[in-house]
């Protein structure tokens, strides 16, 4: 009964989404206020029904309703309750429903927080969001119904993939999706602007906070995925240039370009058509990511089970969205551009460079990700592009990007006088070079060219993003003379610096070593002694495990005891490595049990990862900066009540 | 700057960026492209010399050998027609098992043994890399044909 309600609610949501897609758009063309006002109610109603549907699916999981195929395939009686909930979005059907739910939450939020936006713009934006919702609801109902029954019902479920039984992975997809789907709002604003032919600085002010919020969530979502891969997959790496990682990273790169381009459009009324193009691209890349993950077209550790019809559906949807948007763009965008000038040394120039470099980086990642597909289609050969290529290709645009970042922050709009600019930045620049070279030399005893480039870049970002907050704090203690928007920018850039520092240090000084260990034996890695004291049997709620007790000593002095496990999950009988991690702010020790080598010995992977935490902390700080910037006063302006006609 | 100059600057920078990117990536692409080669082709000697490539197939049952207490490992991989000896030093992924699908990165050693530097097995028990599945499907057919023609099962041209 409950699953049928869920299914039915989804159909009702589709009907409402269709109303929301058509009526307000027609209303906006005809200047019909009644038709336009349907948009809001439809958005609320749609959310209600999708939430009911999602709730029904959660209910089915919590009550172990194995007469539902999706529940029977991805849950199990003994599964701990929190994982029964997160199992809802552990596979294609449920995660698609979650995608739809998040889209409806964004839609409702846009409908609710109206600010001082004109009704016509709202109607068009909500209509475009309605169209996207129609597409995804059709996708769910036609190809991936999560409520499909299994008759006769199974006695017990097939269990959740053990890799996904982990808190990090339970929250990674929802947060990532909030980011992914959030770009649909910027997309809808772009389409609405092109339809109306009106794009002014206010439009950018209305679009910007939504985009920044989406970007912040995407940042956290990607970081969580990276963190999870680090500790759960037992690999100890933090980024693998896997096709699906790239699929989430490309919208992030373009989204980053978009929020910078929006800044120019808001402050100066420039880069209008460019901003529109980025908004279209960011969302299209989100859809492309969905296509890559769910069609199984690309070999990836993340690939969902393959189903060609789903692939075709998303590909068609992607084609409609991209081609439709680009036709509209070609037709309407040229009329939008304004002709205001700016000096060669101006913030505009730096933001232009930022955009060019980010687009180049995205293009390279896209090229590397799609190359296996292109080669297979043209020559039939099966190739893969290794991580080393991505690392080199990606650094080429990134090094100038982070160096220019510090300069651009302190350059005025329109035109910057050279003398005061040089005076302001000379000292931080010199200090950055000195500290950047000394830092690795003092703490790690070695420095090299690429290493120094990384640390100098990081320190340079730290210094340049501190200038503004320190100055405003000195000028008016207590009463901060800095806008939230500027403060958010400084914090986000500081986070970027933390990230660069962590990534640089861990790639230069990280140590990985595969060793053989028997009980009582010890090995030395990174100046530390790792001794295998004992192997114990441990029983968990739905698994049994072998736990290695490894004592770590430095110069004979006890540091810590690490307990890596090798788990066997009882239902799927699969083995899982649960790494032992000793996290410190400035380094991680990481031990994973491998296999039994015979003669009582085990293979053990031991890793020393200096400053790896800075990577995820940096991403988190970036996202916080984004969220702080949207609390700026100018984004909270309310509409002045319109005089009655 | 005048709008016209701006546009020229933007186009110029974009073109420059794309040109550099294209140049660099094409150069590096060649070196980093890793081909997937069918086990039967490797056995027949048809594989890229002096560079790494990937192979894949099923780990032959009872073929895994290791010296007691050592990380050195040898096993055979089959595409259902021919078998190839693979050597590897290090920790194996969780889903590596006899009779299961596997992909290995590496290069051919002098003695006809594939020296793997990386072994991949997938997240999911039921999931098999499409290239491995395809390679095996193809060679099962070839094998049936060979057997029917009275030849030995592994005789790739």
Which residues in chain B have Cβ-Cβ distances shorter than 8 Å to A357? 17
When pLDDT is averaged across residues A29-52 and rounded to a whole number, the result is: 94
Angle (nearest 5°) at CA A64 between A63 and A69:
125
The range of the structural domain enclosing residue A586 comes to: 511-613
pLDDT (mean) for A463-477: 84
Q: Which has the minimum average pLDDT: A7-21, A42-56, A431-445, A465-479?
A: A465-479
Alpha helix segments (H runs only) across A476-612: 484-509
**What is the least distance, in Å, from the CA of B94 to any CA of chain A?**
6
Question: Of A364, A385, A575, which is closest to B21 when you measure between CB atoms?
Answer: A364
Q: Which helix (H) or strand (E) holds A580?
A: strand A580-583
The reported pLDDT for the residue numbered B153 is 67
From its phi and psi, is residue A554 left (phi > 0), alpha (psi between -120 and 50) or beta? beta
Q: Would you state the structure tokens that stand for residue A333, as one six-digit string?
A: 């965008």
Q: At A565, which CATH number?
A: 2.60.98
Contact B1 A360 (CB under 8 A): no
Q: CB-based contact (8 Å) between A371 and chain B? A: yes
pLDDT computed for residue B2 by the predictor: 64
Among A132, A160, A188, the domain boundary falls at: A160
Q: What residue in B sits closest to A393 (Cα-Cα)?
A: B25
Distance separating alpha carbons of residues A582 and A505, to the nearest angstrom: 18
Residue A220 lies in a domain: no
Domain ranges of chain B: 1-33, 39-148
Q: What would the pLDDT profile of B84-140 be if each residue is shown by its tens digit?
A: 999 999 888 887 888 888 889 899 988 889 999 888 876 555 556 777 877 888 887
More confident residue, B19 or A550: A550
Interface residue A527 vs chain B (CB under 8 A): no
The pLDDT assigned to A28 comes to: 93
* Contacts of A645 by beta carbon, 8 Å cutoff, 6+ apart: none
Kindly determine whether residue B17 and residue A364, on different chains, have CB atoms separated by under 8 Å. no
- Give the residue-averaged pLDDT of A256-283: 93
Show which of residues 294-323 on chain A sit within 8 Å of chain B, judged by CB atoms: 296, 299, 301-303, 305-306
Q: For chain A, what is the domain count?
A: 2
Instruction: Provide CB contacts within 8 A for A336, sequence distance 6+.
Output: A193, A194, A197, A199, A272, A273, A276
At the top level of CATH, the class of B39-148 is mainly beta
pLDDT above 60 for A643: no
pLDDT > 90 fraction of chain A, expressed in percent and rounded: 61
**What digits encode the pLDDT tens for the residues A538-576?**
998 888 999 999 999 999 899 999 999 998 888 777 788
Please judge whether B94 and A384 are an interchain contact, meaning their C-beta atoms are less than 8 angstroms apart: no
Residue of A nearest to B122 (CA): A301
Pick from B3, B32, B41, B135 the residue to mutate for testing the A interface (most A CBs within 10 Å). Answer: B32
Whether residue A313 is contained in a domain is answered as no
- Are A160 and A83 a contacting pair, CB within 8 Å? yes
Residue B142 has pLDDT above 80, yes or no: no
In this model, does residue A596 exceed pLDDT 70? yes
Cβ atoms of A77 and A160 within 8 Å: the answer is: no
* Chain A contact probe: residue of B72, B123, B131, B134 with most A CBs at under 10 A: B123
The pLDDT value given to residue A342: 82
B31–A352 CB contact, under 8 Å: no
pLDDT of residue A645: 47
Average pLDDT, chain A: 89
In this model, does residue B45 exceed pLDDT 80?
A: yes
H-assigned helices in A379-515: 387-409, 418-444, 449-475, 484-509
From A356's Cα to the closest Cα of chain B, the distance in A is 6
For A110-165, write each residue's pLDDT tens digit: 999 988 899 999 999 999 999 999 999 999 999 889 999 988 888 888 878 777 88
B89 to chain A: nearest residue by CA?
A: A514
Distance from CA of A602 to the nearest CA of B (A): 7
Q: Residue A283 — very low, low, confident or very high, per pLDDT cuts 50/70/90?
A: very high
How is residue A392 written in tokens? 């080199």
Residue A303 in this model has a pLDDT that exceeds 60: no
CB-based contacts of B148: which residues, under 8 Å, 6+ apart?
Answer: none
pLDDT of residue A419: 87
Percent of chain B with pLDDT over 90: 9
Write down the pLDDT at residue A299: 55
The mean pLDDT value for A419-445 works out to 91
In a domain, A445, yes or no: no
CB contact under 8 A, B25 and A367: yes
d(CA A109, CA A210): 10
How many angstroms from the chain centroid is the CA of residue A51?
Answer: 23
CB contact under 8 A, A600 and B6: no
Task: Name the more confident of A202 and A375.
Answer: A202
Alpha-carbon gap: A584 to the closest alpha carbon of chain B (Å): 25
DSSP 8-state assignment for residue A158: -
Candidate from A389, A516, A574 with C-beta closest to B69: A516
For chain B, what is the radius of gyration of the CA atoms?
A: 22
For the ranges A223-237, A406-420, A573-587, the lowest mean pLDDT is seen at A223-237
- Choose the closest CB to B17 out of A356, A575, A597: A356
């Amino acid at each position: 009964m409950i699953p049928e309600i869920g299914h039915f609610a989804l159909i009702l949501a589709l009907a409402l989404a269709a109303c929301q897609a058509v009526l307000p758009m027609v209303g906006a063309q005809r200047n019909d206020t009644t038709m336009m006002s349907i948009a809001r109610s439809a958005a609320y109603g749609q959310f209600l029904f999708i939430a009911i549907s999602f709730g029904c699916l959660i209910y089915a999981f919590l009550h172990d309703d194995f007469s539902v195929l999706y529940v029977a395939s991805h849950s199990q009686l003994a599964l701990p309750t929190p994982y029964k909930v997160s199992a809802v979005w552990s596979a294609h059907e449920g995660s698609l429903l979650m995608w739809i739910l998040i889209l409806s939450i964004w839609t409702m939020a846009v409908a609710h927080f109206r600010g001082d936006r004109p009704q016509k713009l709202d109607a068009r934006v909500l209509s475009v969001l309605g169209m996207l919702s129609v597409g995804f609801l059709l996708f769910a109902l036609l190809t991936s119904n999560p409520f499909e029954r299994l008759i006769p019902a199974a006695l017990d479920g097939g269990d959740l993939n053990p890799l996904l039984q982990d808190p990090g992975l339970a929250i990674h997809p929802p947060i990532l999706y909030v980011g992914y789907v959030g770009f649909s709002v910027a997309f809808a604003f772009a389409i609405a602007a092109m339809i109306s032919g009106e794009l002014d600085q206010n439009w950018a002010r209305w679009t910007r906070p939504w985009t920044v919020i989406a970007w912040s969530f995407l940042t956290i979502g990607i970081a969580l995925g990276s963190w999870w891969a680090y500790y759960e997959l037992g690999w100890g790496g933090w980024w693998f240039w896997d096709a699906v990682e790239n699929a989430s990273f490309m919208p992030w790169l373009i989204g980053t370009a978009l929020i910078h381009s929006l800044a120019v459009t808001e402050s100066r009324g420039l880069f209008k058509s460019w901003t529109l193009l980025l908004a279209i691209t960011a969302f299209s890349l989100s859809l492309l990511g969905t296509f890559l993950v769910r069609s199984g077209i690309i070999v990836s550790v993340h690939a969902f089970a393959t189903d060609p019809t789903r692939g075709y559906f998303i590909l068609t949807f992607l084609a409609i969205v991209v081609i439709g948007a680009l036709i509209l763009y070609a037709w309407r965008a040229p009329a939008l551009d304004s002709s205001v000038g700016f000096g060669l040394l101006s913030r505009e120039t730096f933001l232009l460079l930022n955009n060019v470099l980010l687009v180049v980086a995205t293009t390279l990642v896209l090229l590397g990700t799609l190359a296996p597909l292109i080669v297979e289609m043209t020559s039939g050969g099966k190739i893969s592009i290794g991580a080393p290529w991505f690392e080199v290709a990606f650094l080429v645009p990134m090094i100038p990007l982070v160096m220019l970042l510090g300069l651009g922050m302190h350059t005025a709009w329109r035109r910057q006088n050279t003398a005061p600019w040089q005076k302001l930045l000379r000292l931080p620049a010199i200090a950055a070079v000195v500290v950047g070279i000394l830092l690795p030399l003092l703490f790690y005893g070695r420095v090299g060219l690429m290493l120094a480039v990384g640390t100098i870049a990081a320190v340079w970002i730290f210094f340049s993003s501190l200038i503004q907050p320190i100055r405003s704090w000195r000028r008016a203690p207590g009463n901060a003379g800095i806008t939230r928007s500027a403060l958010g920018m400084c914090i986000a850039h500081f986070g970027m610096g933390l990230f660069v520092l962590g990534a640089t240090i861990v790639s230069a000084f990280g140590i990985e070593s595969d060793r053989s260990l028997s009980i009582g034996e010890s090995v030395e890695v990174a100046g530390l002694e790792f001794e295998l004291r004992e192997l114990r049997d441990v029983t968990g709620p739905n698994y049994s495990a072998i736990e290695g007790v490894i004592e770590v000593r430095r110069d004979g002095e006890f540091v810590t005891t690490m307990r890596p496990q090798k788990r066997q999950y009882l239902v799927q009988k699969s083995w899982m490595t649960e790494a032992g991690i000793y996290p410190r702010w400035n380094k991680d020790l990481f031990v994973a049990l491998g296999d039994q080598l015979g003669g009582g010995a085990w293979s053990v992977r031991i890793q020393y990862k200096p400053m790896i935490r800075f990577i995820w902390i940096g991403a988190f700080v970036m996202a916080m900066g984004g969220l702080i910037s949207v609390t700026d006063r100018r984004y909270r302006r309310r509409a002045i009540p319109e005089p009655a006609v | 700057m005048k709008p016209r100059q701006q546009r020229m600057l933007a186009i110029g920078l974009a073109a420059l960026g794309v040109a550099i990117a294209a140049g660099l990536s094409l150069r590096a692409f060649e070196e980093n492209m890793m081909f997937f080669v069918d086990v039967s082709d490797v056995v027949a000697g048809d594989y890229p010399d002096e560079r790494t490539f990937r192979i894949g197939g099923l780990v032959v049952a009872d073929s895994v050998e290791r010296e007691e207490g050592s990380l050195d490992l040898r096993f055979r991989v089959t595409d259902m027609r021919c078998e190839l000896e693979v050597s590897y030093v290090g920790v194996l992924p969780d889903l590596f098992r006899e009779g299961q699908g596997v992909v290995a990165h590496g290069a051919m050693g002098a003695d006809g043994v594939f020296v793997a530097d990386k072994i991949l097995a997938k997240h999911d028990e039921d999931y098999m890399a499409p290239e491995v599945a395809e390679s095996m499907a193809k060679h099962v057919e070839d094998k049936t044909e060979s057997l029917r023609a009275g030849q030995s099962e592994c005789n790739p041209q």
